[in-house]
């Protein structure tokens, strides 16, 4: 049988025609004479009516369906200004595929309850809209990198060494060895620039984040890129172009944005260039505001919040103190206490969405930094990359969920991913 999708009907493509639809019962109510079922499929929702006078048996069957039952209906599409969406279906047939038990999700439930029922909650209009935007963000990434001649590559998820420092490593038994879940594919991307010059990936990143926050997951997706022959300024340009493009694409998803109460224009106006302020300047601004920000420390959630509330576009903070950042960052030739890196901070209090910078391309300097930091694991292969045709290069990592949270103004990062993982959540 041929099934129509609800969206086609709402676009007026099936008016006055008989259609078959399959989906789930979103709402149902009935009076003595007529039963209304709102059916949803992956593309939308539409009301179907069953009248007792026309077919009493069918009317009884329609009355018996419960919320989230799976059904198939046949009926004639009529334009109807009163019904939501402007169209209605006059039902001629109904097939019950599976009668749902009493659906546990109703209004006003606690966040914990909803998270426990996440496998059912993902059917909600809100989550569906967020996840459609999420899919669009991924499409935009791919299009941008394709258009700019980057090659997509994939690093391993099992690794033998830390990228971002030991404290958030998940370790595991790998046969008779110790291994870690990857925190970042950066090192593998660095290896691949010697083959392809410009590479990118989207991959999971695992971090044992031990504190409860609204911007950290223990499993999140990171978009990473690495570019040969580039310095910090060069990679910042790549980042802003990419983010600007993602914003443009998301702003075009008017329907989902409407469901989420986000004005497309607030996203469409996020166009590069983004302001650049030095770390020193950022500390000065914060101290001027009476914030106890100490030179030498990385900016934390609170500092980033206060700083970015002053802006309505993302800002780059560049040239951080060496001791605040990971060991692989390129030392500033003018000041050995600083490194050539930049974080991109989202405005409105959201904070860091990208960490990036120039990488150390010199063997001696890299050896010295690894020694200073006393990192666990074997970095021999990574050092090798500096021994065989090393070139200046830069790259970055963008937190996909952070970007979605910021663009959609969500309170908590967990709503940006179907099945979030945090320190106290590994179910469902
Ligand atoms: P933060 O200081 O916010 O913890 P980070 O300095 O640890 O971030 P990086 O190691 O630079 O972050 O990782 C690159 C990007 O990955 C970050 O800019 C951020 O967007 C994202 N990210 C990092 N940790 C997490 C996490 N636990 N959950 C979600 N996204 C994250
Ligand atoms: Mn972190």
Are 87 and 195 found together in one domain?
no
Quick count: other Cβ atoms within 10 Å of Cβ 250?
Answer: 24
- Tell whether 33 is covered by a domain: yes
* Complete DSSP assignment for 94-139: EEEEE-----S--SS--HHHHHHTHHHHTTSHHHHHHHHHHHHHHH
> pTM score, two decimals?
0.96
The two tokens of residue 133 are 């935007």
Task: Indicate whether residue 355 lines ligand 1 (CB < 6 A).
Answer: yes
Are 128 and 269 found together in one domain?
yes
Lowest mean pLDDT segment, chosen from 25-34, 41-50, 92-101, 159-168: 159-168
pLDDT reported for residue 376: 67
Task: Indicate whether residue 395 lines ligand 1 (CB < 6 A).
Answer: no
Q: Which of 14, 84, 15 is nearest to 44 (CA)?
A: 84
Atom 26, ligand 1: residue with shortest CA distance: 216
Distance, CA of 247 to CA of 272 (rounded, Å) = 10
CB environment 303-333: b (16+ within 10 A), e (fewer): bbbbbbeebebbbbbbbbbbebbbbbbbbbe
pLDDT at 212 over 90: no
Averaged pLDDT, 35-41: 98
Are 78 and 121 found together in one domain?
no
Environment class of 96 (CB within 10 Å of its CB; exposed 0-12, middle 13-18, buried 19+): middle
Task: Indicate whether residue 222 lines ligand 1 (CB < 6 A).
Answer: yes
- Tell whether 143 is covered by a domain: yes
- Ligand 1, residue 402: give the atom nearest the CA: 20
Are 141 and 94 found together in one domain?
no
Environment class of 184 (CB within 10 Å of its CB; exposed 0-12, middle 13-18, buried 19+): buried
pLDDT reported for residue 374: 83
Are 126 and 47 found together in one domain?
no
Task: Indicate whether residue 399 lines ligand 1 (CB < 6 A).
Answer: yes
Q: Which of 69, 98, 127 is the last residue of a domain?
A: 98
Task: Indicate whether residue 325 lines ligand 1 (CB < 6 A).
Answer: no
Are 83 and 122 found together in one domain?
no
With residues binned 3-state (H G I as helix, E B as strand, rest as coil), the percentages for the chain, rounded to 5, are 35, 30, 35
Are 45 and 152 found together in one domain?
no
- Tell whether 304 is covered by a domain: yes
- Tell whether 423 is covered by a domain: no
In angstroms, what CA-CA distances link 326 with 236, 298, 323, 355, 359? 18, 11, 8, 10, 10
- Tell whether 422 is covered by a domain: no
pLDDT reported for residue 84: 83
Per-residue pLDDT reduced to its tens digit, 167-190: 899 999 999 999 999 999 999 999
Task: Indicate whether residue 397 lines ligand 1 (CB < 6 A).
Answer: yes
Are 73 and 119 found together in one domain?
no
- Tell whether 426 is covered by a domain: no
396, containing H or E segment? strand 393-399
Mutate to test the pocket of ligand 1, among 170, 184, 222 (most ligand atoms within 8 A of CB): 222
- Return the residue matching tokens 């030739």: 333
Per-residue pLDDT reduced to its tens digit, 52-76: 999 999 999 999 999 999 999 999 9
- Tell whether 181 is covered by a domain: yes
Give the chain's domain count: 2
Residue 338's CATH number: 3.30.930.10
Are 200 and 246 found together in one domain?
yes
Q: Residue 17 sits in which domain range?
A: 6-98
pLDDT band at 327, cuts 50/70/90? very high
Residue 26's CATH number: 2.40.50.140
Higher pLDDT, 108 or 405: 405
Mean pLDDT of the chain: 96
pLDDT band at 89, cuts 50/70/90? very high
- Tell whether 76 is covered by a domain: yes
**267-408-221 Cα angle (round to 5):** 105
- Return the residue matching tokens 């309850």: 113
């Amino acid at each position: 049988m041929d099934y129509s999708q609800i969206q086609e009907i709402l676009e007026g493509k099936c008016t006055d025609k008989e259609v078959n639809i399959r989906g789930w019962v979103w709402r149902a109510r009935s009076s003595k004479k007529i039963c209304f079922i709102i059916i949803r499929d992956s593309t939308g929702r539409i009301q179907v009516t069953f009248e007792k006078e026309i077919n009493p048996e069918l009317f009884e069957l329609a009355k018996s369906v419960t919320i989230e039952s799976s059904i198939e209906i046949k009926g004639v599409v009529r334009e109807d200004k009163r019904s939501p969406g402007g169209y209605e279906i006059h039902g001629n047939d109904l097939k019950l595929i599976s009668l749902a038990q009493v659906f546990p999700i109703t209004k006003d439930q606690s966040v914990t309850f909803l998270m426990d029922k996440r496998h059912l909650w993902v059917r909600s209009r809100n989550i569906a809209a967020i996840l459609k935007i999420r899919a669009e963000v991924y499409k935009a990434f791919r299009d941008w990198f394709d258009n700019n001649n980057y090659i997509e590559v994939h690093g391993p998820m099992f690794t033998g060494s830390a990228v971002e420092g030991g404290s958030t490593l998940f370790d595991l038994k790998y046969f008779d060895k110790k291994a870690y879940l990857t925190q970042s594919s950066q090192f593998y991307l660095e290896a691949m620039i010697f083959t392809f010059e410009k590479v990118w990936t989207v991959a999971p990143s695992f971090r044992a984040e031990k504190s409860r926050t609204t911007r950290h997951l223990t499993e999140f997706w990171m978009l990473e890129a690495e570019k040969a022959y580039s310095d910090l300024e060069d990679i910042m340009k790549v980042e802003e172009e990419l983010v600007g493009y993602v914003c443009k694409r998301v702003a075009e998803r008017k329907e989902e944005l409407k469901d989420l109460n986000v004005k497309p224009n607030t996203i469409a106006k996020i166009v590069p260039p983004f302001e650049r302020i030095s770390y020193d300047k950022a500390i000065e601004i914060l101290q001027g505001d009476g914030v106890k920000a100490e030179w030498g420390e990385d900016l934390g959630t609170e500092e980033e919040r206060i700083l970015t509330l002053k802006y309505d576009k993302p800002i780059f903070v560049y040239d951080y103190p060496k001791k605040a950042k990971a060991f692989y960052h390129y030392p500033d030739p003018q000041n050995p206490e600083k490194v050539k890196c930049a974080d991109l901070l989202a405005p409105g209090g959201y904070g860091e969405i990208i960490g990036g910078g120039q990488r150390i391309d010199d063997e001696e300097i890299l050896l010295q930094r690894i020694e200073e930091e006393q990192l666990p694991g074997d970095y021999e292969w990574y050092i090798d990359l500096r021994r065989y045709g090393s070139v200046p290069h830069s790259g970055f990592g963008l937190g996909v969920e952070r970007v979605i949270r910021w663009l959609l103004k969500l309170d908590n990062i967990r709503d940006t991913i179907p099945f979030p993982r945090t320190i106290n959540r590994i179910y469902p």
